[in-house]
Chains A and B, each alone.
Chain A
Amino acid sequence: MSGFGGFVLRRGVGAVITLFAISVIIYVVFYATPGNVAQITCGPRCSPEQVHQVAQQLRLDDPLYLRYWHFLEGILVGQDYSTGTAVQHCSAPCLGLSYQSDQQVTELILAKLPVSLSLVLGAMVLWLVLGVGTGMLSAWRRGRLSERVLTGITLAGTATPVFVIGLVLMIVVCGELHLLPFPQYVAFTDDPEQWAWNLLLPWLSLALIEAATFARLTRASMLETLAEDHIRTFRAYGVGERSVIGRHALRGALAPVIALNANNFGSAVGGAVLTETLFGLPGIGQELVHAVAVVDLPVVVGMVLVIGFFVVIANAVADLMYAVADRRVVLA
């Protein structure tokens, strides 16, 4: 057990280091680019005075490491900002102020987070159920017609980008068949039923391609596990096929699926950006696309950091789940 505790600790420290490194990379990439950083940061519509003010706020006269330290300080303990007329206190974790709205980036993100989490987590449930189910079914029905049909569908699924499937779903379901109104986000706390109905299409758009990926992986993983020696043992001892597949094969087959799920979290977040943009959901992704369009750097940097944070956490959690599922990992 001490070995497992050590593993958890090592993995946790690793995650923190990764997060730190990501913050450095992002800071350097965005705030140490050649050219007039203040101008880029402030955006194309800034007046010279505003640019000057930004340059002061960013402490462009300081060396880079000091500036990064200042940025980190804001995240860890908070910071005061002068917005021209008044001083605004931005408490930790402070990611700076938007140059478009003077709003605190942290608040902005917190306001948008529920939408994005609703989308991604809901879709994740959908793609895990659909993907793992389909994959198991096609491994079970190997060599029969139903397997070939499933394989064809999943192949087509992997080849359809999120925004294409989203477009088609929206046009067919909302535009032509009028089965659902065009989605509009309703908070879960306001009306859970409307929340689910409105998110149904976005969930499907985001989940289908991921489900296809998972179906392929689960099928491959199942077939590989079914070829293993210990499966032969249980068959040779008269254990029924249902138990062999449901108990012994599935457990082994799911380990790589867990690992993929974490790795896919990052890509799903990318897909979420597309889905939010397409369906007009007011989440982090849509805000990010907007911030990118108007070059609102503090918002962009803040959002990339927050998303990176979630991805790193997801990866660490998956590693731990993988280790719990298969303790041999810890010993390796």
Chain B
Amino acid sequence: MSEALVASQAPGTDTSVPGASGAHSFWRRLRAQRAALVAAVVVALLVLVALVAPLLTALEGQDPTTYHPSLIDSARGGVPVGSFGGMSAHHWLGVEPQTGRDLFARLVYGARVSLGVALAATVVQVVIGITIGVASALGSRWVDQLLSRVTDIIVAMPLMIMSLALLAIVPSSFPRPVLVTLVIGLIAWGNIAKIVRAQTLTLKGLDYVSAARLSGWGTWRIARRELLPGLAAPVITYAALLVPINISVEAALSFLGVGVKPPTPSWGQMLTAADVWYQAAPQYLLFPAGALFVTVLALTVLGDGVRTALDPRAASRLRVGAGRRRGAGSGPGKGADA
């Protein structure tokens, strides 16, 4: 027997079956990565801010939608009164140019939109991806062909372009954040479906699934007990990569004016006019851009950490991993399926 085989057989070592390790060792390996730990704390804080946004604004004594014409110098084209964009004890981060809405309030409420839309869209993508991927892998050849073809087509559709176009035709009466969530979720599930299909096919070919069949269990029970748990690791890994992508896409759509629309605040939307005002109100550019950067960075680092913790063997090869992230995109690329 070869020396290489030994490693996989010696007691106590990880087996080559993906995701073999339990939740306990997952947390241990995640905690062992300092960067991921810091990122996790940052993400937790961001989620907390989003959750208690009303509380925070109440503390400040402001809300995200009230206009403050008195704080705007209309003679100078609508720049905020006072230094650094009107920062004061009442308006911690100053006010928006032209409208005078409180920037701090809009920023923390914007976190709700960003994180809410991104997480909800990820859930939609994961649910569709698992359903299609598993059905494709377990279905008849005909079903597999059809679903794989559909998946290929979905993957070929540029997410930004499709969302942009779709968002144009839906009546504005439809609640915008929900709409953006649905559009992102319904367009960008292709890669996750591919990953799930490939993983299910791999698992299906493993001897322990054959053994379960020989035990006398039916397809449903085998899918639930033997297959689905094996999908957890790749799905969680990939979902962790999807969240920051979805944040970027939502911000990009809102930046273009087709995503979340005023008066609902969104970071991307706040940046739409920032280039006009950056000299008079630099905080109007800096805070939303900074919030976006920190959020996407933290989620990306956390996603890498989750990947490392779930698949230490692959991670030791890849360390940082083949993450795919961008300002606007059709979702991650082929590399992830490989």
Complex CA–CA separation, A288 to B248 (angstroms): 20
Other-chain contact of B289, A167, A271, A291 (Cβ < 8 Å):
A167
Other-chain contact of B165, A18, A30, A263 (Cβ < 8 Å):
A30
CB <8 Å contact, B326 and A209:
yes
What chain B residues lie within 8 Å of A270 (beta carbons)?
158-161, 252, 326, 328-330
Q: Is A151 an interface residue (CB 8 A)?
A: yes
Complex CA–CA separation, A233 to B329 (angstroms): 40
What chain B residues lie within 8 Å of A308 (beta carbons)?
156-158, 161
Q: Is A158 an interface residue (CB 8 A)?
A: yes
Q: Which residue of A lies closest to B324 (CB)?
A: A213
Complex CA–CA separation, A191 to B206 (angstroms): 62
Other-chain contact of B329, A156, A165, A271 (Cβ < 8 Å):
A271
Give chain A's interface secondary structure class: helix
Interface string of B68-94 (1 = CB under 8 A from A): 000000000000000000000000000
Other-chain contact of B319, A17, A223, A260 (Cβ < 8 Å):
A223
Q: Is A311 an interface residue (CB 8 A)?
A: yes
CB <8 Å contact, B171 and A35:
yes
Q: Is A282 an interface residue (CB 8 A)?
A: no
What chain B residues lie within 8 Å of A291 (beta carbons)?
168
Q: Is B180 an interface residue (CB 8 A)?
A: no
What chain A residues lie within 8 Å of B161 (beta carbons)?
266, 269-270, 273, 288, 303-304, 307-308
Interface string of A251-286 (1 = CB under 8 A from B): 000001001101110110111011001100000000
CB <8 Å contact, B252 and A311:
no
CB <8 Å contact, A159 and B244:
yes
Interface string of A191-211 (1 = CB under 8 A from B): 000000000000000000110
Q: Which residue of A lies closest to B274 (CB)?
A: A167
Distance (whole angstroms) from the CB of B315 to the closest CB of chain A: 10
Complex CA–CA separation, A266 to B161 (angstroms): 9
CB <8 Å contact, A216 and B323:
yes
Complex CA–CA separation, A210 to B325 (angstroms): 8
Q: Which of B89-136 contact A (CB under 8 A)?
A: none
Q: Across the A-B interface, how many residue pairs have beta carbons closer than 8 Å?
A: 218
What chain A residues lie within 8 Å of B297 (beta carbons)?
155-156, 159
Distance (whole angstroms) from the CB of B182 to the closest CB of chain A: 13
CB <8 Å contact, A292 and B330:
no
Q: Is A105 an interface residue (CB 8 A)?
A: no
Interface string of B299-329 (1 = CB under 8 A from A): 0110000000000000001111111111111
Other-chain contact of A312, B156, B293, B322 (Cβ < 8 Å):
B156
Other-chain contact of A163, B165, B255, B300 (Cβ < 8 Å):
B255
Complex CA–CA separation, A163 to B292 (angstroms): 11
Complex CA–CA separation, A223 to B155 (angstroms): 27
Give chain B's interface secondary structure class: helix
What chain A residues lie within 8 Å of B296 (beta carbons)?
158-161
Q: Is A249 an interface residue (CB 8 A)?
A: no
Distance (whole angstroms) from the CB of A220 to the closest CB of chain B: 4
Other-chain contact of B328, A262, A267, A292 (Cβ < 8 Å):
A267
CB <8 Å contact, A297 and B164:
no
Q: Is B50 an interface residue (CB 8 A)?
A: no
Complex CA–CA separation, A209 to B293 (angstroms): 12
Complex CA–CA separation, A151 to B304 (angstroms): 13
Q: Which 6 A-B pairs have the closest CB atoms?
A: A270-B160, A267-B329, A162-B327, A161-B327, A263-B333, A159-B297
A-B pairs with beta carbons under 8 Å apart, 9 shown: A30-B165, A170-B275, A212-B325, A216-B323, A223-B318, A256-B338, A260-B333, A263-B330, A274-B327
